[in-house]
Amino acid sequence: MKRLLPPDAASGARRPSRHFEDTGETMRRKAGSRIIPGFGVSLGITMTFISMIVLIPMSFLALQTSSLGWSGFWSAALDPRVLAGYEVSFLCSLTAALINCLFGVILAWVLTRYKFPGRRIMDGLIELPFALPTAVAGIALTAICSDKGWIGGALAPLDIKLAYTRAGIVIALTFITLPFTVRTIQPVLERLDRVYEEAGLMLGASRERVFRKIIFPEITPAILTGFGLAFARGLGEYGSVVFIAGNMPFKTEIAPLLIMSKLEQFNYGEATAVALVMLLVSSVVMFFINCVQSRASSFIKE
Amino acid sequence: MSLKGNIWIPRLLTGTSVIFVLLTLVLPLAVVMAEALGSGLDLYMRAVTDTYTAKALHLTLAATAAAVVLNTFFGLAAAWVVTRFSFRGKGVLSTVVDVPFAVSPVIAGLVFILTFGRLSPLHPFLEACGIKIVFAWPGIILATVFVTFPFVARELIPVLEARGTDEEQAAALMGAGFFTIFRRVTFPHIRWALLYSVILCAARAMGEFGAVSVVSGHLRGKTNTLPLHVEILYNEYRFADAFAVASILAVAAIVILAARNVVEYAAHKEEETNVR
């Protein structure tokens, strides 16, 4: 069954660069003329769009940075309040991604292995966070978690606060990034051949041991990919978090919000410096995902 | 020791999953509806039919339509060129297509401010022509297109990749032109993928908040999309109104989700009959 992953979760396994190995065909193609029509036009359209929407705007980011200078860049990027912002973003995204790894495995397992009433509806609901606008998710989660909310109200007598704390940020990010882990693990579990599990059980291994030794190694690359995607998305997430975070400097102020408030003060240089640091971190995460993917696929080829 | 194992484990896991989904996914939806209708139907109708809401809805629809049309057009061209031809720099090209996914929405907005805003070298030129992009509707449309840029291409590339080029080559050798090949050979294979990539693109475009928020400048009635309107109402402590407007978006999200499931089901069914 073809699952609809969001294109961003559709990650490396389908990356076209890996399909380059058909060198024989490439050589032949280069020698002769191209058989299929439409090369010039489609390349032209693609390049025009990419230049106008991605390349030219991104180059202005580089331009702005170069006008900032080294000392200006460092003092903006390493300001204590900004460092606290990175810390909040980093820790909360990490926690949310870890929570989603755990529940991602459980949900993917339940959805692929068990039959129960409402399974299809549950399966369809998993992608709700992709479809629901983040601002709507943000105000809804804030309403639930605030002192007067359905959950926040129940926890208030116990002196547990969710809204306007880091716990609230984690809740929002968990909601937003849930589909990433479930939808990367689920297809792997669906394709998994049950023969090996059955053999393990027949040979007397316990269920727990079969999971640990046979199933878990198979889904590890998918878990890592889902983790990376969820983490990267969490770092950049803005819409759902601003409502629930309370946005206290040094405590619950996330890095994207810092960019936003610097922009509101027309402080474009400092905003660019913070943005570059975040871009660097998310590129590292994306690189990590690519490494996991290419290792996993080379493993399969062997 | 039976192959079935302990019967409590499936029950425990299923129960955990159901509770988790109810708490994290269903509860927020329920809260939006409850808060929206909580202050009575009159207030709800007034908030939903407010002039500013109507204008925000208008802009959201325009931005969504622009993102869907432009990105579908681009996605088809990009998928065609990346999967049907080999050329130098193909790897770089398909990496660049993905860039908007690696970029936080807020940074996407920042990029457009730097490109077209006051500090940009382009600014004097735009000023002279009387074109306003940042803090005006063209900026909102650009930001929305940027954020949803890779959706269609990313969905189509693996499908076309998996099919190979044999059929198109055969058709071309028999003398078919580009449009005939596309319409008769390629399109029937990609229509489901195209349809649900369009659905996803529309969902994301409709709900985009961070990027649009940066470039909008929050001019009510002019550069407000529905999600931004929700934020403004919420920050003015008009919670019932905010949730009423949010409920429009929530209903749209549910419709999109249902459409996506229908498309997936139809595609799956067609695949099965083809195999048979």
Contacts A39 to B, Cβ<8 Å: 81, 84-85, 87
Are A11 and A184 in contact by the 8 Å Cβ rule? The answer is yes
Minimum CA–CA partner of A230 in chain B:
B102
Q: Which of B13, B93, B155 sits opposite A110 (nearest CB)?
A: B13
Tokens coding B114: 């730097």
Residue B177 pLDDT:
86
**Mutation for B interface: A99, A139, A278, most B CBs within 10 A:** A139
Residues A44-56: pLDDT tens digits?
999 999 998 889 9
Percent of chain A's residues with pLDDT above 70 = 88
Q: Which of B78, B106, B177 sits opposite A37 (nearest CB)?
A: B177
By C-alpha distance, which of B226, B221, B209 is closest to B109? B209
**Mutation for B interface: A2, A5, A29, A60, most B CBs within 10 A:** A60
Residues B116-141: pLDDT tens digits?
888 888 888 888 888 888 888 899 99
Residues B16-59: pLDDT tens digits?
999 999 988 999 999 999 988 888 888 888 888 888 899 999 99
> Residue A71 above 60 pLDDT?
yes
Contacts A288 to B, Cβ<8 Å: none
Q: Which of A17, A45, A143 sits opposite B31 (nearest CB)?
A: A143
Q: Residue window 147-166, chain B: list those with CB within 8 Å of chain A.
A: 149-151, 153-155, 157-158, 161, 165
Domains of chain B, start order: 23-275 (1.10.3720.10)
Tokens coding B129: 């022509």
Are A236 and A282 in contact by the 8 Å Cβ rule? The answer is yes
Model confidence at A6, pLDDT cuts 50, 70, 90, reads very low
Q: How big is chain A by its Cα radius of gyration, in Å?
A: 23
Mean pLDDT of A267-280: 89
- CB count within 10 Å of CB A79 equals 15
Interface contact flag, A8 B226, Cβ < 8 Å: no
> Residue B229 above 60 pLDDT?
yes
Residues A156-204: pLDDT tens digits?
888 888 888 899 999 999 999 999 999 999 999 998 888 888 898 899 8
> Residue B187 above 80 pLDDT?
yes
CB contact B213 to A (< 8 Å):
yes
> Residue A8 above 60 pLDDT?
no
Interface contact flag, A38 B228, Cβ < 8 Å: no
Alpha helix (H) ranges present in B117-186?
123-129, 137-147, 151-163, 166-173, 178-180
Tokens coding A153: 């109200």
Interface contact flag, B20 A10, Cβ < 8 Å: no
Q: Which of B91, B96, B121 sits opposite A50 (nearest CB)?
A: B96
Taken in order A229, A232, A235, A241, is the CA torsion positive or negative?
A: negative
Mean pLDDT estimate for chain A: 84
> Residue B244 above 90 pLDDT?
yes
Q: Residue window 56-75, chain B: list those with CB within 8 Å of chain A.
A: 70, 73-74
Residue A30 pLDDT:
45
Residue B220 pLDDT:
65
Q: Which of A57, A64, A140 sits opposite B32 (nearest CB)?
A: A140
Report the C-alpha gap between A240 and B207 in whole angstroms.
11
Domains of chain A, start order: 48-301 (1.10.3720.10)
Interface contact flag, A16 B246, Cβ < 8 Å: no
Q: Which of B100, B173, B257 sits opposite A127 (nearest CB)?
A: B257
> Residue B15 above 50 pLDDT?
yes
Mean pLDDT of A98-104: 95
Residue A69 pLDDT:
81
Mean pLDDT of A2-14: 43
> Residue A33 above 80 pLDDT?
no
Contacts B165 to A, Cβ<8 Å: 36
Residue A301 pLDDT:
53
Distance from CA of B257 to the nearest CA of A (A): 7
Distance from CA of A118 to the nearest CA of B (A): 9
Residue B27 pLDDT:
93
Residue A247 pLDDT:
84
By C-alpha distance, which of B96, B255, B188, B246 is closest to A52? B96
> Residue A9 above 80 pLDDT?
no
Q: Which of B145, B214, B228 sits opposite A53 (nearest CB)?
A: B145
CB contact B137 to A (< 8 Å):
no
Report the C-alpha gap between A137 and A144 in whole angstroms.
11
> Residue A228 above 80 pLDDT?
yes
> Residue A4 above 50 pLDDT?
no
ipTM here = 0.88
DSSP code per residue over B92-108: HHHHHHHHHHHS-HHHH
